[in-house]
A and B are shown apart, each in its own frame.
Chain A
Amino acid sequence: MFLALKEMQRAKLRFGLLAGAVGLLVFLILFQQALLGGLINQFIGALKNQSADVLVYSDQARKNLEGSIIPPDQLAQVATVEGVADAAPLGESTFTVTAGGEERDAVVFGYELGRPGAPTTLIEGRLPEQGGEAVASEKDRADGFDIGDVVQVQPDGVEITVVGVARDINYSVSPVLFVDFATFEAAKRTRNPDATTILPSVVAVQVASGSSPESVATAINDQVDGVEALTRQQAVDGSPGVSSVRSSFAIILGLFYLVVPLVTGLFFLIVTFQKASALTLLRAIGASSRTLVTSLLIQVVVVMLTGSVIAFGLYAGALQGVKNLGVRVEVQPVVITSLVVLVLALVTSAIAVRRVLRLDPLSATTGGGVHV
């Protein structure tokens, strides 16, 4: 501890610059993770944050809500599968609406009140209790989707009053309204007055207590023809575009996770080379290898933790500027990311540790350092 801290105290600029570089890199990781989370939420937040445990799609839809239609007989069959506590229609469609005095696109989800498919992240107001009421996506409050605002489906169709707002329920990067199924039907008829029957997009299933969503989804797939049942998480992961966005970000994040420990490992290797003669002297006068390795690892930990604190400050500041992307400051990803980069940095410092372990105290008699 004494050696580690004294050295850092005497070389504040050098270690400060490294901590700053680590801070910037960790900040980029955190920011991109937040951006990815925000983007995914804007794509499929409505699916992720609704109450159905299992969603049953038409097997022709390829996990795309827009392309899925469930006829009444399939809905009835799903309801009879063992482990299904409740199976209700859930409709989804994009409409042109007037909100805040402007025409906009909005995605309307219609579910049967009190049954699966309701939004789960209500932060203000209440859930719809009758036709013509909606819970809207929080992010779009300022655009005419706040509590008390009236949204009208065009052309001159059903009017929907916002009675609650919920967090992270956007869909396809559009504003979302969760309404009762009858209102959803009315909205569909506004666009297509000749429609005879309005079919739900998927079946929203609540599993019975004691059953797992995975086993119920499997049972539905085995017993009902023409459908594809997915757990909520599978539906989220399988939504069009989600996996490609995730894999693109994964490559970028993977590179950052590689660069941070490499930078740290190389820095400590260079520092170890630079002070090889001092370390050899310490070995000669009785410092154990363990003492010197511990000292090195303490420095790695101090640098990485300082870098993480810098990163958190930058992250919190930067996210204030991009609130409209649906990103929020969360402590958990900061802690997890910091711990991951710390562990990786300790692993890459093994090269420097190896150098320390190879120091020959006899070299002190020649003024040398590392014996290669």
Chain B
Amino acid sequence: MTVLDMRDIRKVYRSGDIDIVALDHATVQVDHGEIVALLGPSGSGKTTLLSIAGGLLTPTEGTVVVGGHDISEYNAKQLTEFRRENVGFVFQSVNLVPFLTAEENLLVVDELGGNKGGKAAKGRARSLLEELGLGHRVKNLPGQLSGGERQRVAIGRALFNNPKLVLFDEPTSALDTKIGEQVMELIRTEMKARDTAAIIVTHDTRMTHYADRTVHIVDGRLDAGTVTA
């Protein structure tokens, strides 16, 4: 069953009198539990596609359906709620709130949803962090964690609300190869265990074998995709 269905997406930025086409009739579908690597050079439109899929940006043309919600015409307020309830994000660099502990960085998702981080939420945050190998780090602030540990906490936060789709924007770019591979392995394990769909934006071809399928993007255009796993 399809979790993400993006059809004929165009994203055009206006700069003075010139139109810059960031995405040109891009169409992609991602099924439950499927991991798609989005591979392309800098400026090819990877992050724009990811942002539209996650409701951070609206397309100029085309439709985006995530988990049955057509978000193409959502306003800013609806998109905020949509992101909170339906999507998990792991960004490239700033991923954690520096004044919250590892555990609180997960609980903040619950708080933002209007809940009060009760015992159930705390228990869930702890078990998720333990699952990610961070059981001993729950009370540490991000500044006390290594790069790999921070990305693992971010993965925990992205999964905390049981989203249908998790979007990873170059999750290993700030990590060395060994730690990067460990993080990718963890991502694959966690996504498969939950049957959660994921798009992983990367420009590192060494990381694509962790995905089920690799889609290439060049100048805002997508290819059909290659099965990689």
Contacts and interface: CB of A to CB of B under 8 A. Distances in A.
A286 B81 contact: yes
Interface string A278-295: 101111111110010000
Given A275-B98, A362-B56, A362-B57, A367 B117 contact: no
A370 to B, nearest CB: 13
A364 interface: yes
Interface in A247-287: 275, 277-278, 280-287
A282 B94 contact: no
A187 B181 CA distance: 103
Contacts of A277: 94
A365 B92 contact: yes
A364 B94 contact: yes
B85 interface: yes
Contacts of A282: 97, 108, 112
Contact of B83 (A11, A286, A365): A286
A364 B80 CA distance: 14
Contacts of A362: 51, 56-57
Interface stretch (A1-9, A130-138, A311-319): A1-9
A281 B99 contact: no
Interface string B77-101: 1001101110001011111111110
A361 interface: yes
A286 B82 CA distance: 8
B104 A291 contact: no
A281 B117 CA distance: 19
A288 B112 CA distance: 8
Contacts of B111: 2-3
Contact of B94 (A3, A11, A288, A367): A367
B56 A281 contact: no
B169 interface: yes
Interface string B26-56: 0000000000000000000001001100001
A2 B117 contact: yes
Given A3-B111, A6-B104, A291-B112, A365 B97 contact: no
Interface in A310-357: none
A283 B104 CA distance: 16
Given A3-B108, A285-B89, A287-B112, A365 B100 contact: no
B162 to A, nearest CB: 14
B121 to A, nearest CB: 11
A31 B5 CA distance: 67
Contacts, number: 82
Nearest to B158: A285
Contacts of B92: 365, 367
Given A6-B104, A362-B57, A364-B89, A286 B95 contact: no
Nearest to A369: B94
A248 B43 CA distance: 64
Contacts of B85: 286
Which residue, B83, B85, B94, B169, has most C-beta atoms of chain A within 10 A?
Answer: B94
B174 to A, nearest CB: 10
A38 to B, nearest CB: 45
Given A284-B91, A287-B112, A10 B99 contact: yes
Nearest to A285: B89
Contacts of B132: none
Contact of A288 (B77, B89, B96, B98): B77
Contacts of B100: 3, 6, 10
Given A10-B141, A11-B99, A285-B157, A365 B80 contact: no
Nearest to A283: B80
B109 interface: yes
Nearest to A360: B56
Given A10-B99, A291-B112, A365 B47 contact: yes
Given A11-B99, A288-B80, A366-B47, 7 more contacts: A3-B108, A6-B100, A278-B98, A284-B89, A285-B157, A287-B112, A361-B80
Interface of B: 47, 50-51, 56-57, 77, 80-81, 83-85, 89, 91-100, 104, 107-109, 111-113, 117, 141, 157, 169
Ranked nearest first, the 8 interchain pairs of A and B with the lowest CB-CB distance are A286-B84, A367-B93, A10-B99, A277-B94, A286-B83, A2-B111, A7-B99, A278-B97
28 contacts: A2-B108, A3-B108, A6-B99, A6-B100, A6-B104, A10-B141, A277-B94, A278-B99, A281-B91, A281-B95, A281-B97, A282-B97, A283-B80, A284-B83, A284-B91, A285-B89, A285-B112, A285-B157, A286-B81, A286-B109, A286-B113, A287-B112, A288-B80, A288-B112, A362-B51, A364-B94, A365-B50, A365-B51
